[in-house]
């Protein structure tokens, strides 16, 4: 649980470099809505920047 809390804290600060050090390289980020999941760090990093919370269609 502590690892998950740490990941959320650094993510919410926008410290994506720190997130990359915490998450497993083969993780899958399940998006809300009709978006496809984002798999693995190389796909997630550009998806999350510059605005992690912008609505994407």
The rounded distance, in Å, linking the Cα atoms of 15 and 57 is 25
Whether the Cβ atoms of residue 20 and residue 45 lie closer than 8 Å to each other: yes
Band (pLDDT 50/70/90 cuts) for residue 56 is low
Top pLDDT among 31 and 5 is at 5
CA atoms within 13 A on the CB side of 2: 0
Give the model's pLDDT for residue 53.
62
| Average pLDDT for the chain | 81
User: The pTM is what?
Assistant: 0.58
Report which of 46, 36, 40 is spatially closest to residue 24, judged by C-alpha positions. 40
């Amino acid at each position: 649980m502590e690892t998950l809390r740490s990941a959320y804290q650094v993510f919410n600060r926008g410290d994506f470099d720190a997130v990359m050090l915490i998450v497993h390289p083969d993780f899958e980020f399940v998006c809300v809505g009709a978006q496809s999941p984002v798999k693995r760090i190389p796909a997630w990093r550009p998806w999350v920047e510059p605005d992690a919370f912008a609505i994407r269609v």
